[in-house]
Amino acid sequence: MAADADRAGRQAGNALGDGIATTAVGEIRNAGARIADEGGRIGEQTGTSLRSRLTSSLKIGLAAAGVAAGALLMTGFADAIDQGRVKARLGAQLDATPAEAQKYGKVAGRLYANAITEDFQQAADTVQATMRAGLLPPDATNKQIESISTRLADVANLMEEDVGQTARSVGKMIKTGLAKDATEALDILTRGIQTGGNEAEDLLDTFSEYSTQFRNMGLSGQDAMGLISQGLQGGARDADVVADAIKEFSIEAVAGSDKIRGGYQQLGLDADKMFAAIGKGGDSAKGALDKTLDSLRAVKDPVQRNAIAVELFGTKAEDLGESLYSLDPSSAVDTLGQVGGAAGKMGDSLRDNAGVQIDKFKRQALQALTEFIGGTVLPALQGFFGFVNDHKETFVAIASVIAAVVIPAIVALGVQSMIAGAQMAAAWVIGLGPIGWIGLAIGALVVLIATYWDDIKKYTLQAWDWFVDKLIWAKDMAIKLFLNLTLPGLIFKHWNTIRTTTVAVWNAVVDWLKGIPGRLYQAFTNWSVTKLITQHWTAIKTATVTKASEMVTWVRGLPGRISSAVGSLKNLLYGKGTDIVRGLLNGVKSMGGWLRSQLMSFAKNMIPGPIAKALGIHSPSKVMAREIGRWIPAGVVKGIESGQGALDRVMSNLVTPSAVPAFAGAGGGGFTAPSSGVHIEHWHAAENGSPDDNARALAWLAKARG
C-alpha cells in the first residue's frame, strides 16, 4: 500500500507539474486560436466595409506601410543595440566618464546623421581620433567636437586616408607650432591637397615626420606647405624629398660643416653669419634659407650652381634637381592662395549634391528613432529585467505560498508523495527567469484579450470606422482642392464649357478665313492702279508741272549765287593780306628801341672802366665804331633786302595791280604809262657780301644795262 501510495503520489505530482504547463500552453494556444478566428472575422468585416469605400491600391499601400513600419522598428532596435556597444567602447578607449562617453556618442550620432561619415562606427572612430590626437581639450563643447571632427573626416575623405593618420599629422602640426589650432592645420592640409602637395600621397607622413625640422628652420605650416607645393610643381618626386632636403641643410648648417662653409664661400656669403642666423631659428633661420636659395639661383653657370647646391643640400640636391631652384620661402605662402576656411568650403562642396542630401534626410529620421529606442525603450526594458532579477526572492516566496496552500490539500488526501511534484512545479516557475516571466506576461495578455474580446472588437471597429471616414473626407477634400485651386483641376471641372466655347470660336475663325479670298478679290477689283491714276490724273499732272518749274528756276539762279560768293572771297583775301604786311612792318619798327637798349646794356655790363683803359678803349669806342658799329646798319639793311624778294612775290600773288590812269596835258595831249621798252631790274645783294662788294655789283649792272 505504501509503495502504491508513493507511486500514485509521484504520478499525481508529475501530473500536476505537467498539467500546469500543459494547461498554460493550452490556454495560450486556445486564446491564440480564438484571437485568430476573431481576427479573421474582423478582417472579413473590415475588408467588406472598406471594399466599398477604398480602392485596392490604398489597401496595398496600407499593407506596405505596415510592413515598412515594422521593418523600420526592427532596424531601429538593432541600430540602438549596436550603437550602444560602440558608445561603450568609445568611452573605454578615451577613459571617459559616463557623462563624457554620452557626449561623445551624441556627437558621433550627429556625424552619421549629417552624412559626414559612412556609418556610426566611422563616426565614433573620428571622434576618438580627434580627442586622442589632442586636437581639442577634454572640456570642449559638443559643437566644437562636431566642427573639428567634421573637418577631420572631410580632409581624410578628400585624401582617401585613414582618419586616425590624418588626426596624427594634424596633432604634430599643432604641437610643433606649425599651426595655432586644428582648424588652421586642417585648412593648410586642404590647400596643400588642392595645390598638388599630395601628388605622391605622402603628405600626411611628411608632416608627421618633418614637422620638427620645419620648426627648426623657422617655417610656419603655410611656409612648409608652400615650399612642398613649389617643389612638386617644379618636378620634385614627392613631398618627402623636399622636406628631407630642408632637414639635411638644417642639420649641416647648425653643425657648421666645412662642406657648407665652402658652398657659402663660392656664393660670396659670410658662412659664419649664415650659421649664426640658422642657429637662432625663427625668422632669422628662414631668412638665411631664403638668401641661400636666392644666391643659388643667381649663379649663371648651371654646372657650378649644381656643384654648390650639392655642398649645401647634400645628395638631396641631386634628388631634387632643377626643382630645388623652385623653392622660394619669400613667396611660399602666396603659392597656397587663400588658406583660411579652406577645409569648411571643401566639406560643403563634398556634400553639395542631391544624393548626399537625400541620404542625410533618411539618416536623420532613422537616427532619431534609434536614439529614442536606445535612450528610452531599452533603458525601460533593462529596468524591468533588473527589477525581476533584483526581486527574485519575492517571486520565490510567491511560489512557496502556492506550494504551501496546495500541499495541505494533498496531505489531506493522504498523498504525501505529491509534495515532490509540487516542489518540481515551483522550481519550474522560479527557473523561468526574466525571459520566462516575459513569456508568461505575454500569455496573460493574450488571456485578457480573449476575455474582453467583444469589447476590444467593438471599440476597434469604431476606431477603424472613424479612421476610414477621415480618409474619405481627406480624399473628397483633396479632390475639391484639385478641381478648384489647380489649373488642371479647373480645366477638368469646366471642360464642357471650355469645349463649347472653343468650338464656337474655332468655327468663327474658320468662317472668317474662308471669306479672305473673296474680300481680296473685291479689293483688287475696286482699287486697281489704272483706275486710281485715271481718277486723279489732273491733280498728278498739276503737281508735277509745278515742281518741275520750281527746279528750273533754282538751277537758273545758281551761277549768280556762285559768282557773288567768289567776289566776296576776293575782297576778303585782299584786306587780310594788307593787314598781314602792315603787321610785319609794325613789328619790326617796334623792336628798334628794344634792340638799342639791349646793346647799350651789354656794353655797360661787359666793358667796365679798367678793362677799357687797359685795352685802350675810349668812349665812344673807336674800335666798336670801326669794327662793329658801322656794320650794324648795313646788316639790318642787308637783312631787310634779303627778304624783299620773298615779300614781293607774296604781294604780287595776293594783289593784282590796277591799270595806271592817263593824265591830260596842257596842249591837249595825254601822258601815258611807261612803254614796254622800259626795263625794271630786280637785284638782290649776296648774303655774304660786304658794302663795297654790293657797290661794285650795282655799278657793273648800271654799265651793262645803260
pLDDT tens-digit series, residues 168-221:
999 999 999 999 999 999 999 999 999 999 999 999 999 999 999 999 999 999
Q: Give the mean model confidence (pLDDT) for residues 575-595.
A: 69
pLDDT of residue 499: 74
406-422 CB burial, b ≥16 within 10 A, e <16: beeebeeeebebbbebb
| 311 touches 259 (CB < 8 A) | yes
Q: Please list, residue by residue across 274-295, b when 16 or more beta carbons sit within 10 angstroms of its beta carbon and e when fewer do.
A: bbebbeeeeeebbbbbbbbbeb
User: Helix 392-412 vs helix 378-390: angle between axes, to the nearest 10 degrees?
Assistant: 50
Judge whether residue 672 has pLDDT over 60: no
- Report residue 610 as a C-alpha cell: 679798367
CB environment 529-563: b (16+ within 10 A), e (fewer): eeeeeeeeeeeeeeeeeeeeeeeeeeeeeeeeeee
Average pLDDT (163-167) is 95
For residue 81, name the pLDDT band (cuts at 50, 70, 90): confident
pLDDT at 635: 75
Q: Quick check: 5 pLDDT over 60?
A: no
Mean pLDDT of 668-677: 48
Q: What is the reported pLDDT for 667?
A: 46
pLDDT at residue 599 in the model = 67
Q: What pLDDT sits at residue 39?
A: 45
Q: What is the pLDDT of residue 639?
A: 74
What average pLDDT score do residues 300-312 get?
93
The domains of the chain are located at 1-51+391-451, 55-175+354-389, 180-350, 454-493
The whole-number pLDDT of residue 554 equals 72
Predicted confidence at residue 385, as pLDDT, reads: 59
- Residue 15: what pLDDT? 43
If one compares 245 and 37, the residue with the highest pLDDT of the two is: 245
Looking at residue 176, its pLDDT comes to 95
The rounded mean pLDDT for the chain is 74
DSSP letters for 487-548:
HHHHHHHTHHHHHHHHHHHHHHHHHHHHTHHHHHHHHHHHS-HHHHHHHTHHHHHHHHHHHH
Q: Tell me: the pLDDT tens digits for 146-157?
A: 999 999 999 999
For residue range 414-425, list pLDDT tens digits in order.
444 444 544 554
- The per-residue pLDDT for 222 is 95
Mean pLDDT check: name the lowest of 204-208, 462-466, 654-658.
654-658
Residue range 378-407, pLDDT digits in tens: 676 666 656 656 655 665 555 555 555 544
Residue 228 has pLDDT above 80, yes or no: yes
pLDDT band at 62 (very low <50, low <70, confident <90, very high): very low
Using alpha carbons, list the distances in angstroms from residue 127 to 119, 149, 184, 222, 434.
Answer: 13, 6, 18, 26, 37
pLDDT reported for residue 526: 58
Q: How buried is residue 263: exposed, middle or buried, by Cβ count under 10 Å (0-12/13-18/19+)?
A: buried
Measured N-to-C along each axis, helices 258-267 and 302-313 cross at an angle, to the nearest 10 degrees, of 150
pLDDT of residue 212: 93
Q: Which of 21-30, 156-165, 185-194 has the lowest mean pLDDT?
A: 21-30
> pLDDT tens digits for 246-293?
999 988 888 888 889 999 999 999 999 999 999 999 999 999 999 999
Residue 21 banded pLDDT, cuts 50, 70, 90 = very low
pLDDT attached to residue 51: 46
Q: pLDDT at position 178, please?
A: 95
Residues 6+ apart with CB under 8 A from 53: 468, 472
Please say if the pLDDT value at position 367 is more than 70. yes
**pLDDT attached to residue 174:** 95
Which pLDDT belongs to residue 135? Answer: 93
Q: Give the pLDDT confidence score for residue 425 in this predicted structure.
A: 46
Q: Is pLDDT of 527 > 80? A: no
Q: Can you give the pLDDT at residue 432?
A: 46
pLDDT tens digit string along 433-443?
Answer: 444 555 445 55
Query: Residue 439, Cα to own-chain centre: how many angstroms?
Result: 62
Range with lowest mean pLDDT among 37-51, 167-181, 242-256, 550-564? 37-51
pLDDT average, residue stretch 632-650: 71
If DSSP codes are grouped into helix, strand and coil, which group holds residue 671? Answer: strand
pLDDT greater than 70 at residue 236: yes
